[in-house]
Amino acid sequence: MDMTLQDPIVGQVLDGRYRVDARIAVGGMATVYRAVDIRLDRVLALKVMHPALATDAGFVERFIREAKSVARLAHPNVVAVFDQGAEGAYVYLAMEYVAGCTLRDVLRERGALQPRAALDILEPVLAALGAAHRAGFVHRDMKPENVLIGDDGRVKVADFGLVRTVGDVTSSTGSVLGTVSYLAPEQIESGTSDTRVDVYACGVVLYEMLTGAKPHTGDTAAQVLYLHLNEDVPAPSAAVPGLAVELDALVAAATARHPDARPYDAVALLALAREARTRLTDAQLDAVPPRARPETGAGAGAEARTSVIPRPFAGHPERTTSEPRRASPVEHTSVLEMAPQDRTPPRSRGRRGAAPRRGMIASIVAVLLVLGVGSGVWYINSGQFTRVPSLLGQSEQEARSRLADAGLDAKVTRDFSDTFARGTVLRSDPGARGRVRGDGPVTIVVSRGPEVVRVPDLVGTSLDDARRTLKETGLAAGVVTRSFDDNVAQGAVISSDPTPGREVRPDSGVALVVSKGGAVEVQDVTGESVDEATAELEESGLKVRIASDRVDSPEEEGTVAVQSPAEGSRLARGDTVTLTVSGGPRMVSVPDVTGLKTKEAKSVLEGAGFQVEVDRSFPFLDDRVSEQSVEGGDEAPEGSTITIKTEGL
């Protein structure tokens, strides 16, 4: 049954402009419809927030932020946003309509993709995210449902509904927004969302394209979150034998559990993807993967939807009554079929002799408890434990090095601190002189600096110094634009957004406007000698470049024939003006017009590229040419003046 018939918004016209024709898709926070802009007669997609959420000011703000954010991204691989508005209970975005399907549809239909197809989809996705990252935004909800593949083959990223500025953290309610199968560990633990959470999600999407299945699955969202926190994404070749090691390395780099081990943003990951492609042979790129079985289990459907998950539960799944199940036998069926040599026979439940064996073990333990007190002390003192060195105040690199020297592994987390400088260790678990069994690990908590950072005053500083100051303060340079300014030196900062003194979260992006210096108006130097024109332009603060080729021109040979930019253009000091030198006018054969009527003769000469001057002996209308200043058949410079003398009939 067509459910759109029961949808009250289908058939309505929102804001007197958008006629809703059909429902396309339903998500956790909004429904997408195909609509027509009756004002422009254009088919578009209308994304309408669920009415229940339209009463939540936070969701509405996020929804509107999507429109403003994506409107700033003019990129061919980003679904464009045309308009935003509200009517009654309906808050909506008017967006570009992409006729085609989603990557989820492709994976559901075909299962695993050939590596070439996977990279052909991944690269435009990374190009779109790279544009967002360099503009200071993070998508935060990358998944196959948000990758649109048009009927014409174009790939576009959609649904920037969770978009945030770089460095933002989720709201203080303690909830994580996103889709559990693609959440990065830091999103689950602390809600931190910088460009690297999109990198992680793209790594998971790549794994899914190469294998036809998600890397972490479970019956509940909590189980999936637990696996993201505690287990690495496996190599795709473990599920699909024969995949190139370069693809394993690409997935591993993108899905590293610690964000510092991942490429910084989508641009960096795109460079790695392209490098990996160049190293693959055609046979490796076109390897046909086995069709993966569809995912099953109670958690499969829940993982695909963007949801709100309480962070304390997601961050500490070990507090539940039982340890999360890693994966069901059904979920591993395809892996076992493809790699039978890795199978481990399951242990028999309730086999004969199990109870007597447990009884024997209990007896042995009892004897050891009676007789082994001294030997237990000897075992503890024989080097079973390692002392944790003092790490407070040291840099992360120094702390890692000291732990490695002590034979211990390091697990790094981050937290705010008003006392310890950004990047230094504020505490460890166990603490200094604490004992660790075996080789660890030791958790070191690295300071992110104060929870709130004031934007420094950067006006007048160079761009390099501004970037360095922002980094030292715990912020990042965002979009850099340039503008003319007579009062600020060229290359220095004019202003910042947010403005100096504003309190923002650490790692937030700060947009900078950099001075191009005072504007220089380009003068007209055509017709002047090259030396004169060069001196005149350099005197005004511009550089001069002389084109290698000369051109025919009415200007005298050796003078300036053409300049670029033209007269009146505005440039910054140090910008370059290109001068093209005249080779002199082109010589043209002069037509013979004697005997022709004056009007006809003039037309012939002008058609040959000459100026014409008439010397009339008698003022008759039907006079004819008796003489011409250059005889017919001779040559004269193109554009020069030919004088014709006339006499009456």
* pLDDT tens-place string over residues 324-364: 333 332 232 222 222 333 333 333 333 333 334 444 434 33
Residue 310 has pLDDT above 70, yes or no: no
Cα separation, 388 vs 483, whole angstroms = 54
CATH node for 1-97: 3.30.200.20
Structural tokens at position 154: 């174009």
Give helix 266-279 / helix 245-254 axis angle, nearest 10°: 170
CATH node for 519-581: 3.30.10.20
Q: With 0.75 as the threshold, say if the pTM is over it.
A: no
Q: Report the candidate in 156, 160, 216, 236 with the shortest Cα–Cα distance to residue 193.
A: 160
Cα separation, 188 vs 309, whole angstroms = 9
Q: Report the candidate in 430, 410, 510, 411 with the shortest Cα–Cα distance to residue 466.
A: 510
In contact, 178 and 172? CB cutoff 8 Å: no
Cα separation, 330 vs 344, whole angstroms = 16
Query: What pLDDT is recorded for position 327?
Result: 31
In contact, 153 and 74? CB cutoff 8 Å: no
Residue 543 region, left (φ>0) first, then alpha (ψ -120 to 50), else beta?
beta
Question: Of 603 and 65, which is predicted with more confidence?
Answer: 603
Confidence tier at 648 by pLDDT (50, 70, 90): low
Cα separation, 481 vs 448, whole angstroms = 28
What CATH class has 453-515? alpha beta
Question: Which fold, 102-338?
Answer: Transferase(Phosphotransferase); domain 1 (1.10.510)
* pLDDT tens-place string over residues 566-617: 888 888 888 899 999 998 888 889 999 998 988 899 999 999 889 999 887 6
Give the CA-trace dihedral at 245, 249, 252, 254, to 10 degrees.
-140
Q: Which range, 88-97, 181-190, 548-557, 598-607, is most confident?
A: 598-607
Structural tokens at position 58: 């936070």
Residue at 353: amino acid letter: G
DSSP 545-611: EE-SS-B--SSPTTBEEEEESPTT-EEETT-EEEEEEB--PPEEEPP--TTSBHHHHHHHHHHTT-E
DSSP 69-102: HHHT---TTB--EEEEEEETTEEEEEEE---EEE
Q: Which helix (H) or strand (E) holds 371?
A: helix 354-371
Structural tokens at position 236: 């795709």
- Maximum pairwise Cα distance, the chain: 147
What CATH class has 587-647? alpha beta
Burial code (b: 16+ CB inside 10 Å, e: under 16) for 620-646 equals eeebbbeebebeeeeebebebebebbb
Residue at 535: amino acid letter: A
In contact, 385 and 437? CB cutoff 8 Å: yes
SS3 of residue 391 by DSSP: coil
Q: Which residue is listed with tokens 């507090």?
A: 319
* pLDDT tens-place string over residues 361-381: 343 334 333 334 333 333 333
Select from 3.40.50.620, 3.90.550.10, 3.90.1300.10, 3.30.10.20 the CATH code of 385-451.
3.30.10.20
In three state form, how does the secondary structure of 612-638 look? Answer: EEEEECCCCCCCEEEEECCCCCCEEEC
In contact, 504 and 498? CB cutoff 8 Å: yes
Query: What pLDDT is recorded for position 417?
Result: 76
Burial code (b: 16+ CB inside 10 Å, e: under 16) for 591-609 equals bebeebbbeebbebbeeee
Per-domain boundaries in the chain? 1-97, 102-338, 385-451, 453-515, 519-581, 587-647
Q: Which residue is listed with tokens 């994580």?
A: 176
Confidence tier at 452 by pLDDT (50, 70, 90): confident
Confidence tier at 418 by pLDDT (50, 70, 90): low
**How far apart, in Å, are the Cα atoms of 103 and each of 145, 153, 190, 199, 497?**
6, 12, 29, 17, 37
Q: Which helix (H) or strand (E) holds 3?
A: none
Q: Which residues are known catalytic residues?
A: 141
Tell me whether domains 453-515 and 587-647 share a fold: yes
Residue at 571: amino acid letter: L
